[in-house]
Chain A
Amino acid sequence: MTNRTFYKVGRRPWEVKGHPDGLQERKRTRVPFTRRHWLKWRDSHNPKNLQRERVLADKKPLWWAIALSLLVIVTPFLPNSMISTASIFCIYAAINVLWTLIVGTAGIFSLATLAVVGVAGYSAAAANVYLGVPWPFMLLIGPLVGFIAGAVLAAPSTRLDGLYYALLTMGVAEICRVFVVQLRALTTTNGAITQVDSFIPEAWFLQRPGLLLGFAGAFCLLLGALLVWRLVNSERLGLLLRASRGSREDESFCEAVGIDFRRARLQVFVISSAALGVVGAFYAMYYRSISPNIFSLDQLLLLFAMMVIGGLGRAEGAVLGAAIVTLIDKGMIELGPLRIILVAAIMLIVTIFAREGLTGARDQFRDFRKRKAGERRAHRTEKGGEAMPEEAVDVRDKQELYYRRFNKRLRDRLKPMITPELIAEHKADPLGHHSDALARVLNYFRRAEMVDKYVIMRLKDGEEAYRIMAVSGVRGMPPRVVDDKEYQALNDAYHAVFLLRVNDLLES
């Protein structure tokens, strides 16, 4: 035997698992007004000891709850500047989550996100300042304007593809900025609207209670954005769009089965825009003013950096990215321009090493580990040879492991029997009285498993014309054609199958 190393396999479990008793009644409760359960518990039988185990199949709600409650608990104890950083983080995270809906879920590459926020913010602020609309109504005007802006912007998205649409939306943002800056009425404030009324009393503005109230509002805003995300992405609209995502073929498939994914995309775009409108109104109230800065390119790129760092297309990515970038950009103000370089560096590193941002790192690591395990396995085992301990854990029927050993040794004994004389013997009479060696070889061939087992096909009833095929081994799945050679006599076909099998044997 070769001097192979057998590593011990086996591991203690790390995950906390429940051990339910099946005779105990278990009452399950649901999220109000839905059929969903609060947590996705799953029972299974541990294949190692057959014990019933209960695990949380989807742990995301757990992580969300921990992270968000940490934020709520810790923030009141922070210094003033950090409280406002936390608030800004919440606002940006909310914008990002909604943007993710547009880019990720709807698959529309729009860069007019901040433009929508800005337009809605300006409209709400103008209504408050110039028309005297009380501040609570700003939270209605914002989404209304956002809705209209979204509808206007959505129209060209069906006409223009990818990059061109992105350029168009960037243009729209720039036009908004130029328009606001050149407004004669606002020249005194450099295009900003100030003195906006707010949910934060004027006396508290920039004071600790005001900051805390602002944070509370911003946090609610983030929760609202996450709710919109959940309702859009995980419900009907998101499911429709998920079917069409991926490739052109998926889109064609969707069209064929009657899924109007274009309509669904526009709906997501408009819903998200309306929600961004709320953010716009909130933004104007939070700062008690709104400036053309919101339309600027550097703001947009900062937002973009958040998405890239966190991971595109996931809510947790949008939030994590916002947290990192805001912490650097607003929390490390003393670093000066260096912090922008830092953000850029992180962005670069993430794009180079992570496939789907930081939140995709876990899956990426798992894939990496799986690939490594596969490589190791391929390195340590020979094809068709005996299974190593690490492979055996994946084989349910342990008898298969023995068959592998047995068949390997059987093949090793049969291979030397394949001689030109043996092949000549078979050719002379495939169905004859055979020598012991040929009989053994043939019996090995005939007992092979069903998957890809050779058969002969008679091309037409009553005619001597044959072709070689291989059956699937799966009920209802037709056999495949092995090659296009035709044989005029059945014995030739028998012999051709024999040669194919000899070839397979010697190659193994």
Chain B
Amino acid sequence: MTDIRLFGYSDPLAAKAGEPVDFMISAEGTAEASIDIVRIVHGDYNPDGPGFIEEVIDTDLPSTLAVRRQYTQNGSYARVTDDKQLLANEGSFTVHAFIWPSRPGGTRQTIMGNWSVNDSKGYALGINPEGKLEFWVGDGEMVDQVTSDAPLIPKVWLLVAASFNHQTGEARLRQISVQNSWNSAIGPVAPIDHNSHVVETLRCAPRFADKDFLIAGANERNPERGDYVSMLYNGKLDRMGVVGRALSAQEIADLAVAVNSATTATPVAAPTNSIAYWDTTAGFTDTGIGNRIIDTGPHGLYAEGVNRPVRAMTGCNWRGRDDSFRLNPAQYGGISFHEDSLTDCGWTPLLSWTPSPSLKSGVYALRVTAGAKTDRIPVIVRPQTPRAKIAVQMSTFTYLAYANEHLSFDAQIAQAIVAHTPVISADDIEYNKLQEFGLSTYDHHSDGAGVCYSSWKRPIINIRPGYRMAGMTFPWALPADLSLLWWLEHAGFDYDLITDHDVHAEGAAALSPYKTVLNVTHPEYYSEQMLDATEQYLTTGGRMMYLGGNGYYWVTSTVADDPACIEVRKLDVGSRAWQAEPGEGYLASTGERSGLWRSRGRAPQKLVGLGFTAEGMDRSEPFERMPDSFHKRVAWIFEGIGDEELIGDFGLALGGAAGVELDRYDLALGTPPHTLLLAASCGHTDNYPLVSEEISYAFPGRGGSQDPQVRGDMIYFNTQANGAVFAAGSIAWSQALPCKGGDNNVATIMRNLLNAFIKDDPLPGSSYTGEEKAWR
């Protein structure tokens, strides 16, 4: 293995021609790398297809670039802006917070303080490696601490407070249980005494190290790396503050009582002499809450979240009746911190590239080469103004949701789901070993909580062209979607690329310039704006080609102030990698209930006629024509296809056009009643079980060989103003296109459709609306 390491990402992931794209690169083992821009034509090494194809683009970029190591701050925490150093606290003071530690013990964690690891100065309230609450102070010469008696039990709410009397050196550390029947992982019937109250005289007093006050972290410095934050906290925090005097034992106990009577109208009042009181319940609106933790104390020392601490979580006083912060913000003071969160690497851009307005819309990549190591940092280029009649909507939300998934290494059940042994690569091992570039919404944080944020501001291995997802053994998402782009180009159809983010931001305006819009293999993550845009497009004559599986599935949104970052919460039903804790199913970014769109009255069937029904990754099957396909309304789609010809008994995704994830026609779920069922796949293995949202009673035989609902459907229906939807509900569909040199029966159907869809004329077959007098 080579000693050179290259990692990078582009910001934005998708850009309009004429607008600059920044590339952040980190390199080890080399100070220089050669660079060029390539257009990715095809991204699958599979020998049944055209293989990996890229072409170098002429740019005015230099051919080499000076590169260096860039460091990544992992973990979420909040930094307090305190220009006047009000929190230096060289006198008497008290720190207090409500905590729900999820992983006490093992390593030292900081709840809050201005502790400087290198200087051994400052103070902090935290959890020691033994898993006990500790308050420590340091003056640069000496460190002293007071430790709580009671071991912390994971995921139980407590009030913790430490007061320090500067005159006597006396430190008081209290931990008081605020556990109720609803808010903690275990209930009051487990006879555990969570309380502790220790008083000790410390031998030194904190000296200020001129370092920031941090929530859920401590200041550390490394000569190579510079300042960073370490000793990160795992778990939830709720209302916390700093008081400029030593609170008495009773005053501390009162804090635990006050929080139970908090309401939105009368929030908890900060104790007198407070320097700061971070009321985590302040700032909620109907559309969510941002990164800033508001200080309702006298000085407004707000704290700014880094790497997105998760907000809108149930707080220390949650009582189960209100399952959303929109109903009762006063019970939603919880903020989750994780040592392995990452939403922004924050690297310095080393290069900026502005795609020329004349550049063809497509998937490009900055190719960085040093020694034997090559990395391709992809960027999707959208034209300055719409040019083609066809738009392909690249599913950037999905790309982010799956970014750097660890399933093959972490998820016990993954091999049973995909029904084969994963095939990993050296890059997979490298990424997994580093654990530096964050997790996907399919992974869990180290304390077992699901990951709800994912962003493009980090190197993402599985959007690299040519990358095959380990669990699947074939390309997934972006690398797989390149098969559709290759075929469009091969078949001579001009197209523009747009992205989920464009549709999310611009609505129907992003779609309306195009005669037809194509979905890619897996448009799984959708926002309300995207659904609305698609719906509006279809009701105003738009023609959608839904060419994927398991689309329009999860309620997703971008974060209000950062389009690079998406948020999703997985709950209740659906093929979910994790399950949100009770009461934590609403997006902090928008205030809407997350989970499946179908649970909120917007099943995908209502838009494109199909919705998720089964998944499996052992083999794909072909589609077979259904009787409807011989109706003159749609027979034109099958021109050149035999009556009983198997459609797509080949493909780069497991050897068939119907497979991986499959969608089904279902009138009960809202498929338009005039929809024609053109074709369906048959004979799936039992490794394609019916999805959980379809199962009300569990009984045996819900696999492909016994359950008729396990199939992929191909449908067609007309909409207003000459609009139409063609849908082939299978992820493997597009990956069948490049087979046999790009000329095959899947391609024939696509050609027939596209030739009709890009014309202004009414659609062929649309006049056959009379009653059929079928007396033959």
Interface residues of A (CB under 8 A from B): 20-30, 35, 41, 43-45, 49-52, 54, 430-434, 439, 442-443, 445-450, 453-459, 461-463, 466, 469, 471, 475-479, 490, 493-494, 497
Q: Is the CB of B249 within 8 A of A25?
A: yes
Q: Which of B144, B192, B419 makes the CB contact (< 8 A) with A52? A: B192
Q: Is the CB of A26 within 8 A of B413?
A: no
Smallest CB–CB gap between B406 and chain A, Å?
8
Is B752 on the interface with A (CB-CB < 8 A)?
no
Q: Can you list 10 pairs linking A and B with CB atoms under 8 Å apart?
A: A22-B150, A22-B195, A26-B149, A446-B416, A447-B416, A450-B412, A455-B470, A456-B421, A476-B432, A497-B421
Cβ B199 vs Cβ A28 within 8 A:
yes
Residues of B407-428 contacting chain A, CB below 8 A = 408-413, 415-416, 419-426
Query: Are the C-beta atoms of A54 and B149 separated by less than 8 Å?
Result: yes
Once A447-B413, A476-B435 are accepted as A-B contacts, the answer to whether A25 and B425 lie under 8 Å apart by CB is no
Contact yes or no, A26 B425, CB < 8 A: no
Measured CA separation A433–B175 after assembly (Å): 59
Residues from chain A with Cβ under 8 Å of B195 in the complex: 21-23
Known contacts A475-B410, A476-B433; A50 and B423 CB within 8 A of each other: no
Whether B429 and A462, one on each chain, are in contact in the complex, defined by CB atoms closer than 8 angstroms, is no
Flag if B473 contacts A490 (CB, 8 Å).
yes
B201 proximity list for chain A (CB < 8 A): 30
Within the complex, the shortest CB–CB distance from B439 to chain A, in Å, comes to: 10
Cβ of B193 within 8 Å of any chain A Cβ, yes or no, is yes
**Interfacial chain B residues near A29, Cβ < 8 Å:** 200
**Is the CB of B52 closer than 8 A to any CB of chain A?**
yes
The distance from the CB of A318 to the nearest CB of chain B, in whole angstroms, is 31
Partner of B191, one of A22, A50, A442: A50
Contact of B200 with A30 in the complex, beta carbons under 8 Å:
yes
**B185 near A: Cβ within 8 Å?**
no
Is B166 in contact with chain A by the CB < 8 A criterion?
A: no
Give 1 or 0 for each of B133-149: 1 = CB within 8 Å of chain A CB: 00000000010101001
Q: Is the CB of B421 within 8 A of A475?
A: no
Is the pair B685, A22 in contact by a Cβ cutoff of 8 Å?
Answer: no
* A interface footprint on B187-201 (CB within 8 Å = 1, 0 otherwise): 000111111111111
10 pairs of A and B residues whose beta carbons are closest in the complex? A22-B195, A462-B45, A446-B415, A446-B416, A43-B149, A52-B193, A431-B618, A476-B435, A456-B423, A28-B200
Is B408 touching A471 in the complex (CB atoms < 8 A)?
Answer: yes
Of the residues A26, A434, A450, A462, contact of B197 by C-beta under 8 Å: A26
In the complex, B466 has a CB within 8 A of chain A = yes
Check A27 against B200 for contact (C-beta < 8 Å): yes
Given contacts A26-B149, A28-B198, A439-B686, contact A479 B423 (CB under 8 A): no
User: A35-B144, A455-B421 are contacts. A22–B619 as well, Cβ < 8 Å?
Assistant: no
Interface residues of B in 51-81 (CB under 8 A from A): 51-52
> Of all chain B residues, which has the CB nearest A429?
B619
Cβ contacts under 8 Å, B686 to chain A = 439
Chain B residues in contact with chain A, CB under 8 A?
45, 51-52, 142, 144, 146, 149-151, 153, 175-176, 190-201, 203, 249, 406, 408-413, 415-416, 419-426, 429, 432-435, 446, 466, 468, 470, 473, 618-619, 654, 683, 685-686, 705
Cross-chain contact B618 with A50 (CB below 8 angstroms): no
Whether B425 pairs with A461 at a CB distance below 8 angstroms is yes
By the criterion CB–CB under 8 Å, are B685 and A494 in contact? no
Q: Which of A27, A458, A475 contacts B409 (CB 8 A)?
A: A475
A21, B149: Cα distance in complex, Å:
10
Closest CB-CB distance, B507 to chain A, in whole Å?
Answer: 39
Contact B420 A24 (CB under 8 A): no
- In the complex, how many angstroms separate the beta carbon of A431 from the nearest chain B beta carbon? 4
Enumerate chain A residues within 8 angstroms of B144, measured Cβ to Cβ. 35
Check if A455 sits within 8 Å of B408, measured CB to CB: yes
CA distance A439 to B685 in the complex (A): 10
Contacts A30-B200, A447-B412; is A455 near B424 (CB within 8 Å)? Answer: yes
Q: In the complex, what residues of A have CB within 8 A of residue B422's CB?
A: 455-456
Contact B433 A431 (CB under 8 A): no
- A450 partner residues in chain B, CB cutoff 8 A: 409-412
Q: Which A residues lie within 8 Å of B618 (CB)? A: 431-432
Given A443-B416, A456-B421, answer yes or no on A45-B685 (Cβ-Cβ < 8 Å): no
Q: A453 to B200, Cβ gap below 8 A?
A: no
Assuming the contacts A25-B249, A433-B685, A449-B412, asked whether A479 and B424 have C-beta atoms less than 8 A apart, the reply is: yes
Asked whether, in the complex, the Cβ of A461 is within 8 Å of the Cβ of B466, the reply is yes
Known: A26-B149, A434-B685, A476-B433. A456 touches B424 (CB 8 A): yes
Min CB distance, A370 to chain B, in Å? 23
Let me know if B200 and A21 touch, CB within 8 A: no
Q: How many whole Å from A205's CB to the nearest CB in chain B?
A: 46
State the CA gap A446–B414 with chains docked (Å). 8
For A52, the chain B residues whose CB sits under 8 A away are 149-150, 192-193
Q: A22: which of B193, B199, B432 is its contact (CB, 8 Å)? A: B193
- Whose C-beta in chain A lies nearest to the C-beta of B170? A27
**CB-nearest residue of chain A relative to B197?**
A25
Closest Cβ of chain B: how far from A348's Cβ, in Å?
A: 43
Q: Contact: A457 with B150, CB < 8 Å? A: no
Whether the Cβ atoms of A23 and B197 lie closer than 8 Å is yes
A469 to B426, CA, bound (A): 12
A453 with B435, Cβ < 8 A, contacts A20-B149, A26-B198, A462-B52 known: no
Which chain B residues lie closer than 8 Å to A456 at the CB level?
421-424
B151 to chain A, nearest CB (A): 6
> Which of B190, B194, B196, B411 has its CB near the most chain A CB atoms (within 10 A)?
B196
B466, A462: Cβ atoms closer than 8 Å:
yes
- Most A C-beta atoms less than 10 A away, residue of B201, B203, B468, B618: B618
Task: Give the residues in chain A near B200, CB-CB below 8 Å.
Answer: 27-30
With both beta carbons as reference points, the residue of chain A lying nearest to B204 in the complex is identified as: A35
Bound Cα distance A26, B249 (Å): 11
CB distance from B155 to the nearest CB of A (A): 15
Bound Cα distance A41, B415 (Å): 48
The reply to whether B151 and A466 form a contact with Cβ atoms under 8 Å apart is no
Q: In the complex where A430-B420, A431-B654, A462-B45 touch, is A49 in contact with B191 (Cβ < 8 A)?
A: yes
Instruction: Specify which chain B residues have a CB less than 8 angstroms from the CB of A471 in the assembled complex.
Output: 408-409
Contacts of A463 in B (CB 8 A): 45
CA distance A463 to B193 in the complex (A): 60
Bound form: Cα–Cα A433–B620 in Å: 11
Residues of A near B194 (CB, < 8 A) are 22
Expressed in whole angstroms, the minimum distance between the Cβ of A399 and any Cβ of chain B is: 14
Partner of A43 from the list B51, B150, B406, B434 (CB cut-off 8 Å) is B150
Task: Provide the residues of chain B in CB contact with A446, threshold 8 Å.
Answer: 415-416, 419
CB of B199 to closest CB in A, whole Å: 5
Chain B residue at smallest Cβ distance from A469: B424
Report the bound CA distance from A41 to B175 in whole Å: 18
Q: Collect the chain A residues with CB atoms within 8 Å of residue B683's CB.
A: 433
Contacts of A21 in B (CB 8 A): 193, 195
Chain B contacts for A493, CB-based, 8 A:
421, 423
Q: Are A478 and B193 in contact (CB under 8 A)?
A: no
Query: Given A28, A41, A50, which contacts B192 in the complex, CB threshold below 8 Å?
Result: A50
CA separation between A356 and B175, bound complex, in Å?
A: 43
Cα separation A26 to B171 with both chains bound (whole Å): 12
Whether B619 contacts A26 by the Cβ 8 Å rule is no
Q: Is B199's CB under 8 angstroms from A457's CB?
A: no
Q: Which residues of B contact A44 (CB under 8 A)?
A: 151
Contact B432 A478 (CB under 8 A): yes
Residue of A with least CB distance to B190: A50
Residues of A within 8 A of B175 (CB): 22
The 8 Å CB contact of A475, one of B190, B446, B470, B705, is B446
Min CB–CB distance A507 → chain B (angstroms): 19
A471 to B408, CA, bound (A): 9
For B196, give its contact among A22, A439, A477 (CB under 8 Å): A22
Nearest B residue to A430 by beta-carbon distance? B420
CB B615 to nearest CB in A, in angstroms, measures 15
- Nearest-Cβ distance from residue A5 to partner chain B, whole angstroms: 33
Write out the residue numbers on chain A whose beta carbons fall within 8 Å of the beta carbon of B249.
Answer: 25
If A22-B194, A462-B52, A475-B446 touch, whether A490 touches B423 (CB-CB below 8 Å) is yes
A494 to B51 CA separation, bound complex (whole angstroms): 23
